[in-house]
């Protein structure tokens, strides 16, 4: 297993109770009982050992304890960008309540297939389980299990029409703000309206890899919260290299 070094994870914000990091694409936030890692939680405990017992316990399907030290919310493994971590139980409870009350604002950047014709909109579709793949969530007719309310606000940043001999088609760069926090919400919502995220092998398995992305083209750009001292904080993660290259290829500026 690869050992993460402190410099491998960039700290974007830190105070006595909370840190925000720029999670690289390809790194899982915490163990799931199946993957070997490394995990972000390995790095957290190594460099902030006081987080060891911070948070809520979790168990794998076979009953093993899973280390989720400091994790208040998560990003999918392939998603890059800003992620909050609680250093103390006080920080954990403070952030947990803000997430529960939907007071934390998260904004993502994503490249999606096709032309988003409107400048902005809301995807208001409940999310359940896919009837065809247990790994997927679904916001479409036929979703199974409990359907949970889910809203995603979005705005269009730019449209790119690419035809360079290798890629031919239209793509949109969008900013998405999930009002709710369902698993795979942004990915499932855009797949449901026939604009899946570029590079998403789970929700658009028949689409080719384009624009230089080898992973899901989803980046957690910024997060806004209130720290334990009552101060409003906004943290922004820089654009990763693959986003910068794709935007240059498309002639787009954020």
Residue positions annotated with a catalytic role: 76
Alpha carbon dihedral 59, 16, 102, 39, in 10-degree steps, equals: -40
Can you tell me the distance from the alpha carbon of 84 to that of 79, in angstroms, rounded to the nearest whole number? Answer: 14
Contact 32, 20 (CB under 8 A): no
Contact 92, 55 (CB under 8 A): yes
Contact 105, 224 (CB under 8 A): yes
Can you tell me the distance from the alpha carbon of 46 to that of 224, in angstroms, rounded to the nearest whole number? Answer: 26
User: 3-state class of 111 per DSSP?
Assistant: strand
Q: Give the rounded distance of the alpha carbon of 213 from its chain centre.
A: 16
Largest CA distance in the chain: 55
Helix (H) or strand (E) holding 91: helix 89-100
Quick check: bond before 104 cis, omega within 30?
Answer: no
């Amino acid at each position: 297993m690869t050992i993460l070094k402190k410099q491998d994870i960039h700290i974007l914000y830190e105070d006595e109770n909370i840190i925000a990091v720029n999670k690289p694409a390809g790194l899982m936030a915490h163990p799931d009982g199946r993957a070997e890692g490394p995990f972000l939680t390995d790095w957290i405990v190594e460099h902030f050992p006081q987080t060891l017992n911070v948070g809520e316990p979790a168990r794998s399907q076979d009953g093993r304890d899973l280390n989720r030290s400091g994790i208040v919310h998560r990003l999918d493994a392939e998603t890059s960008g800003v992620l909050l971590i609680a250093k103390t139980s006080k920080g954990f409870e403070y952030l947990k309540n803000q997430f529960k009350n939907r007071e934390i604002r998260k904004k993502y950047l994503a490249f999606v297939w096709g032309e988003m014709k409107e400048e902005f909109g809301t995807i208001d579709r409940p999310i359940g389980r896919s009837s065809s793949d247990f790994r997927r969530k679904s916001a479409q007719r036929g979703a199974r299990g409990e359907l949970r309310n889910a809203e995603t606000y979005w705005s269009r940043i730019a449209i790119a029409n690419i035809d360079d001999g290798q890629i031919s088609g239209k793509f949109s760069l969008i900013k998405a703000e999930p009002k709710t926090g369902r698993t795979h919400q942004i990915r499932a919502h855009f797949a449901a309206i026939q604009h899946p995220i570029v590079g998403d092998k789970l929700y658009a398995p028949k689409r080719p890899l384009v624009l230089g992305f080898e992973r899901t083209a989803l980046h957690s750009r910024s997060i806004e919260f209130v720290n334990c001292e009552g101060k409003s904080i906004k943290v922004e993660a820089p654009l990763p290299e693959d986003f910068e290259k794709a935007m240059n290829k498309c002639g787009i500026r954020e």
